[in-house]
Structure 1
């Protein structure tokens, strides 16, 4: 198991301070792991602990989430994307492979499209082409739009229900829920509002870096057609389908994700 260290990155004047987890050899290929809605770096703990030699991973907790600073505003996908570039600047990453999990892939692909000089490759793990057409997400928004502090722990626990096709350890799930509960109600609202009101299909344009798309065929949120939209928009992209896996392949099949990631990097070495 790889050792995981947690540090803080100061992004500069007017930007939040972000905690981040780091694992792997300093000379390894740099990866930046980008978490999704309400998560923190902890969502990538199964990957970080199993990181093979030759890789050097950074997993920042984004603004408003986990133990990161929680400004009153700045929760559009483009805000998170700008923070991501500032994070890379702050920790001295010139160029990296961006690995986006769930909605974290939205800000990762914004950076890939706008700053290809900083992105060596893009990996999208269970990432939606868009969310506004997902009935479950719209129904959830109708609850979140009225949310006030303190957030009900039962609501946070609901978020993990049914997302994986195989049961996860109770200790890990409790940590995930506890991290979700660190997120104040205004961040729940404004982050989801940003994901629903932004034209997410437009964030797929202009991506010319090599891209690996991973989708579990038991994903309760995303369909194969949703992933096809991503493939059609990104010229140098390919899809891997994980049979029997749900929305969060990096929880359910971390070893396979890392193997496929290593193969993806080797093909482009």
Structure 2
């Protein structure tokens, strides 16, 4: 583990695997650092930087009193500190909320490119009725954090429905430990529900936007919307892959990343 502190007193701690151009891996809502293990094994030509992120807002002085904007801004500051702590201009590879953070970070941080798998951005018509954060908070307030996390899983990971959620959870590697993240996920969801995609994202480096046909339709729609507002972006859709694409199909996605980075000569930059 390596650690660095920013001027704003944010500690960034991360693992580094391999040698080569750094690729910073930013996980999504309910995923631990280990989420990236299947991906790291396919990044042979790169140095995989896997941070131990402090949580969605827990790095704030008083997370219970912060706005949704504060949560996302603090996450972005964390990523920018991480970028400054590694050699060269790394590639940011984010999944879900990590992908949103990567895109926002790239508007100012000195990076070589961005790979964003289904960024957690809600289409305008969907965002207008989004209430997952409120429903989760109600369950937490009544002493049911497990049920709160289940609502997140049902809406984000299995929006098409699932016959036996408890059986699925029994096989999910991060269950039930992830229940302790319930409050952080509420803050994350509130930030997502309030985030409005601008008409243009001023990112000067190449961006690869990824999505899968088996994930939530609203995230596929958002991936297309994000592609439209980023000048130097490419959109790729994976047939039969869900929202958990990076861990579900790491070889297919890594090959696409190799092709993208090679096409832009990013991997060979120093």
Q: Residues 34 and 59 of structure 1 are in contact (CA less than 8 Å); yes or no, is this contact kept in structure 2? A: yes
Cα separation, partners in 2 of 1:232 and 1:219, compared to 1, 3 Å: same
1:33 shift after superposition: 1.0
CA distance in 2, matches of 1:19, 1:171: 30
- Post-superposition Cα deviations, 1:92-144, rounded to whole Å, max 9, x if no partner, equal 333111111012111111121123xx111111111144366437982422212
**Matched residue SS, 2:254:** helix
Give the total of aligned pairs: 253
Partner of 1:153 in structure 2? 146
Task: Tell me what 1:3 maps to.
Answer: none
| Separation in 1, partners of 2:96, 2:214 | 14
Q: Is 1:37 aligned to 2:29, yes or no?
A: yes
Q: 1:253 aligns with which of 249, 256, 261?
A: 249
Tell me the equivalent position of 1:92: 86
Q: 2:5–2:12: 8 Å Cα contact kept in structure 1?
A: yes
The answer to whether the Cα contact below 8 Å between 1:8 and 1:20 also exists between their aligned partners in 2 is yes
Counterpart position of 1:104:
98
Q: Which residue of 1 aligns with 2:118?
A: 126
Offset at residue 11 of structure 1 (A): 2.1
> Gaps spanning 5+ residues in structure 1: where?
1-6
Matches of 1:140 and 1:261, distance apart in 2 = 32
In structure 1, distance between residues paired with 2:35 and 2:204: 28
Q: Distance in 1 between matches of 2:168 and 2:2?
A: 28
Per-residue CA deviations over 1:170-224 (Å, capped at 9, x if unaligned) read: 787232652x334262x2333222222232x129511121111111011125354
Over 3 Å counting, the alpha-carbon distance change for 1:132 and 1:268 in structure 2 is same
Judge conservation of contact 1:128–1:222 (CA < 8 Å) in 2: no
Pairs within 5 Å for 1:1-269: 7-12=1-6, 14-25=8-19, 28-48=20-40, 50-64=41-55, 71-73=61-63, 75-89=70-84, 91-115=85-109, 118-130=110-122, 133-134=125-126, 138-146=130-138, 147-148=140-141, 152-157=145-150, 159-161=152-154, 163=157, 173-175=172-174, 177-178=176-177, 180-183=178-181, 185=183, 187-199=184-196, 201-202=197-198, 205-269=201-265
- 1:151 shift after superposition: 6.1
Inter-CA distance 150–254: structure 2 relative to 1 (3 Å threshold): farther
After superposition, the Cα gap between the structure-2 partners of 1:136 and 1:35, relative to the gap in structure 1 and judged at 3 Å, is: farther
Mark the runs of 5 or more structure 2 residues left unpaired by the alignment.
161-166, 266-270
Assess, with a 3 A threshold, how the Cα gap between structure 1 residues 156 and 36 changes in structure 2: closer, same or farther: same
Moved over 6 A (4+): 168-172
Q: Say which SS state the counterpart of residue 145 (structure 1) adopts.
A: helix
Q: For the Cα contact (< 8 Å) 1:41–1:61, is it kept in 2?
A: yes
Deviates more, 1:138-147 or 1:120-129: 138-147
TM-score (norm 2): 0.79
> Which SS does the other structure have where 1:113 is aligned?
coil
* Maintained 8 Å contact 2:30/2:181: yes
